[in-house]
Each structure stands twice: as structure tokens, then as C-alpha cells.
Structure 1
Amino acid sequence: MDLFFRIIKFGLTGLLGMAIDFGATWLCKEKIKINKYVSNAIGFSLAVTNNYLINRVWTFQSKNEHWGAEFIKFLAVSLFGLALNTAIIYFFHHRKNGVNFYVAKFFAIILVFIWNFLANMLFTFN
């Protein structure tokens, strides 16, 4: 049952992160006119910082005194997730008759959610 609640907490944290990610990506891409992939990285980075703090305290209730090393692990998982996220967006958006950028981003977020939960549970916060 603990795993179920961790997934729910991770998901709720992820929803907040997704709002931060989408909001920052939209702001950077549409209003500031930054390249869509750079905008994606900015949104993702802001969400990662938020998600680390919430997941450390609430989802995984980490007592690790070496929070800097723990954050580096979280960041490494997240950077791999960012690479996966960007590759998925590129694949779905740039192929012939590709889907809308934001639809591709939504698919990427779902797949990267699975990666991030498992990697953080087994590597970062174990």
C-alpha cells in the first residue's frame, strides 16, 4: 500500500511540476520568443527543482543528511529524463505529419514520469 501512496504523491507533485513546466515553457516560447527546445529545458529545470524539494520531504520522506549528493542523483535522473523528454518531443513533432508540439510534450511527460518514479525510488531516495 505504501507504494501506491508514493505513486499518488509522486503524481501530485508531478502535476504541480507539469504546471510549472508547461507555464514556463509557454511563457518562454510564446511570449519571450525563446527557441522551443530551450524553452522546454527552462520549464523542465524549474519543475525539477520544485519536484526535488517536495519529493524529498513529502513523497519519499528522505532523512539523508547528504542532501547535496541526493540532489545530484535527482538531477542526474532528471537530466536523463530531460534528454528522453526532448527526444520524444522531437520524434513526435518533427516526423511527417507530426503532432502539435504541446501534444508531443504531453506524451513525453507521461513516459518520463514512469522513468523518473522508478529511478528516484530505486536510486535517488533508496
Structure 2
Amino acid sequence: MTTVPTTEQPTHTGLFTQLFRFTVTGGISAVVDFGSLLIMTHLLGLPDNLAKAISFVLGTSTAYAINRRWTFRAEPSTKRLILVWVSYLLTFALQVGLYALTRPWLMDHFDYPTAQFIAFVIAQGAATICNFAIQRWVIFKAH
């Protein structure tokens, strides 16, 4: 049996490739998230938790757009989009909740920018691990 060459790209990539791409995408999205958080809190004077909620939406919107196309190489799908936003709502609660819980304690031990950054890293790290697992093994699972 002969195979006919195709120009279509495979729709599934391996775990380590996906993890690498997810990490790169997460870095880009974290810059959007943290950058917008700093702009909103330091330049616009928004309350910290409100700014964090908005910056999360901006960062995760960036992540979804890149991850769907590059990391998981998935076709557009309304069902997937809905599942991703449900996942983001769960990680939103996790991330904003951890940020709100850790920042006040950290501010007792560090200056404001340092406490803000450490709280961001803790919240971002937990949300990223949760988000990758949900997207890899539930939403964009290999068929």
C-alpha cells in the first residue's frame, strides 16, 4: 500500500512539544497579564484586585489564541471555546483567589512591588499547572 503525501499538518503534537509551547505561550501571556496589572495599578490607580481580575482576562485571552493555533494545533470550535472559558473561569478563581490571599501576607514581609510580584508568580504558577492539565487531557485531547 502506498501513501499519498499530504500538505496537511498533523493535528496532534507530543507532550513535551506541547509543554514547551504552552510554557512559551504562558510567558508571553504572563507579560500581557503582569504588564497590564502594573499599568492599571500604578498608572491608572485601579484597585489591586480589580486590576488583577482584568489583567487575568487579558492574559488568558492571549493564551487561548496562541495555544489553540500553535500549542494544540486545533481547529476553531465553539464547543472547545466554551470549554476553554469554563476552564479559564476555574483558573480565574484559583489565580485571583491565591493572589488576594497571598499578597496581604507578603506585604507584611516585603515592599509593595516585591509582594505584588511574588503573589503574581504564586497565583500564575498554580493556575498554569491546572490550566495545562485541563487543556491537554480534556479540551484538546488527542484523538
Query: What is the TM-score normalised by the length of structure 1?
Result: 0.90
Match of 1:36 among 48, 69, 79: 48
For structure 2, the residue ranges without an aligned partner over 5 or more in a row are 1-12
Q: 1:16-35 maps to which residues of 2 (within 5 A)?
A: 16-35=28-47
Q: Deviations over 1:9-47 (max 9, x none)?
A: 000000000000011111111111111111111111111
Q: 1: CA distance between counterparts of 2:98 and 2:15?
A: 27
Structure with bigger helix share is 1
Q: 1:25-104 maps to which residues of 2 (within 5 A)?
A: 25-63=37-75, 65=76, 67-95=77-105, 97=108, 100-104=115-119
Q: 2: CA distance between counterparts of 1:46 and 1:90?
A: 18
* SS of the residue 1:61 aligns to: coil
| Aligned residue in 1 for 2:128 | 113
Share of identical aligned residues, percent? 23
Q: Number of aligned pairs? A: 124
* Structure number with bigger Rg: 2
Q: Deviations over 1:68-123 (max 9, x none)?
A: 22111111111111110112112212238355122111111111110000011122
Query: What is the TM-score normalised by the length of structure 2?
Result: 0.80
For structure 1, the residue ranges without an aligned partner over 5 or more in a row are none
